[in-house]
Amino acid sequence: MKEWVPNYFTQQTNIYGLKIKGDAMIAPSGQSKSFREGDIIVVNHNGVAEPGDFVVAKR
């Protein structure tokens, strides 16, 4: 993750965007979904992950 992206789309404080840095989230061709460097993903930080969901972790 390169940076936090401001949320201009909703007043909810649990939704934000993240700009992807690096290639750790690129799946092999034809398998699953990928997030490439420079992509912005929208994250709903509600604390509940369902099977098949992507999870963002910060260390």
Q: Tens of pLDDT along 7-38?
A: 666 666 777 788 888 877 777 776 778 888 88
Distance of CA 11 to the CA centre of its chain: 19
**Amino acid 43: pLDDT:** 83
d(CA 42, CA 58): 15
**Amino acid 2: pLDDT:** 55
The answer to whether the CB of 18 falls within 8 A of the CB of 41 is: yes
**Amino acid 29: pLDDT:** 75
Give the residue, 4 or 1, on which the prediction is more confident: 4
The answer to whether the CB of 40 falls within 8 A of the CB of 8 is: no
Question: What pTM was estimated for this model as a whole?
Answer: 0.61
Give the residue, 40 or 15, on which the prediction is more confident: 40
